Amino acid sequence: MGAEDNVGVEEELEPLATSRPKNEGHNFLAQSGLLNSKDNPERNQGEVWIVRGGSFFFVVECKMPVNAFKNDPDQDPIMTYGDIYGKPMKLNSPLESTVTVVIEQVEENGAIVTDVGWQYDKYLKSLPHALWAPYSESTDPCKKGNNISNLLKSDEGSITLMAGILITAPKPVMSPDPFPPYQVADANLQRLFSEKPFPAITTADPAWEPDQPHMGNDPKEQYDAVYNAWTKASTSPDDEMQKGFVEILAESLKWKKSDEMKGIAGIPARLKEGFMNLYVAAPLLTK
């Protein structure tokens, strides 16, 4: 074995990555409407989501809190919340932290357009008070003479800040219905054609039209007029005319017992007793 075999060969070190991973400071969390495949329920990071539009909403969570949100980089913020401080940095002025989310859609012709109709809301979260609250020397444990016991209180351990944006899909639009509603009842109708047209409707004799028994405005007089016309016919020569009218009517309707119908031509006894209480208005009589 030669001497060259004992010499070690140094491996070349790969250069460190110079580019940071995408979305390092954000988490995309689907809250509702996310559909999982039955064959493969697990989803890898960065995989395309399949969602249900009517109930889909998700959160863009930021690892650093934000105090402003834009849906257009060239426009002013549409949402702001609170002030953010860097307590470990000993800053007394608030930080500016703005997140911009632009939702775009690729059309069939390949053009990219901004998708409208999305709804935005604040995603609030409790964050450590020691990181994002204003700095004060009186609460700095490094300063001599500060009351350290106040720093151990648990009631001021967190502060509510905007940690992201809650984004809801546009409201669903009802699809156009080019077909009219199907009328089941009309589907069974059949058109019949007759050789002769239907005869014209004959106008009834004006004598059969109803008329007020009394032309005055007194309701009692109207009731009395109807009552007298109905009851006096049974005790006067008009009784035969009344019975004859009922008999003719029964014969025209082909009722077999037309003679027996004459017995009920007069006013019924119970109606006669409570006539003034049974009608809410005076009945009308024929002319």
Over residues 207-261, the pLDDT tens digits come to: 777 777 777 788 888 888 888 888 876 555 656 777 777 788 888 888 877 677 7
Strands 104-106 and 112-114: antiparallel
Percent of the chain topping pLDDT 90: 20
Q: Tell me, rounded to whole angstroms, the distance of Cα 170 from its chain centroid.
A: 14
Residues 124-166 have pLDDT tens digits of 999 998 899 888 887 777 777 666 666 666 677 789 999 999 9
Report the range out of 19-33, 51-65, 177-191, 248-262 with the highest average pLDDT.
51-65
Distance CA 240, CA 262 (A): 9
Distance CA 273, CA 227 (A): 11
At which residue do the structure tokens 């932290």 appear?
Answer: 97
Q: Check the CA dihedral 179-185-186-190 and report its sign.
A: positive
Taking the CA atoms of residue 221, residue 223, residue 226 and residue 229 in that order, the dihedral angle to the nearest 10 degrees is -60
Residues 6+ apart with CB under 8 A from 77: 68, 69, 70, 98
Q: What is the mean pLDDT of residues 33-40?
A: 79
Q: Determine the pLDDT at residue 10.
A: 47
Distance CA 83, CA 87 (A): 12
Q: Name residue 121's beta-bridge partners.
A: 166
pLDDT at 114 over 70: yes
In the numeric block, which tokens belong to residue 54? 């009517």
In this structure, the number of other CB atoms found within 10 A of the CB of residue 249 comes to: 13
Distance CA 74, CA 95 (A): 21
Residues 178-216 have pLDDT tens digits of 888 888 888 888 888 888 888 888 887 887 777 777 777
Backbone angles phi, psi at 84, to 5 degrees: -115, 130
Distance CA 258, CA 246 (A): 8
Indicate left, alpha or beta for 117 from its phi (over 0: left) and psi (-120 to 50: alpha): left
Residues 6+ apart with CB under 8 A from 138: 146
